[in-house]
Amino acid sequence: MTARYIAIDWGSTNLRAWLYQGDHCL
């Protein structure tokens, strides 16, 4: 259960970083 929570948290952070980089490039 903890591992799953970490995976969700990491995915959310990774998605935000990807969107931020995409906006920064544009």
Q: Quick one: pLDDT at residue 25? A: 60
pTM across the whole model: 0.36
Q: Quick one: pLDDT at residue 1? A: 62
pLDDT by residue, tens only, the chain of 26 residues: 677 776 677 878 888 888 777 776 65
Domain limits for position 24: 1-26
Q: Quick one: pLDDT at residue 18? A: 81
Distance between alpha carbon 25 and the CA centroid of its chain, in Å? 17
Provide the domain count of the chain.
Answer: 1
Buried b (16+ CB within 10 A) or exposed e, 1-21: eeeeeeeeeeeeeeeeeeeee
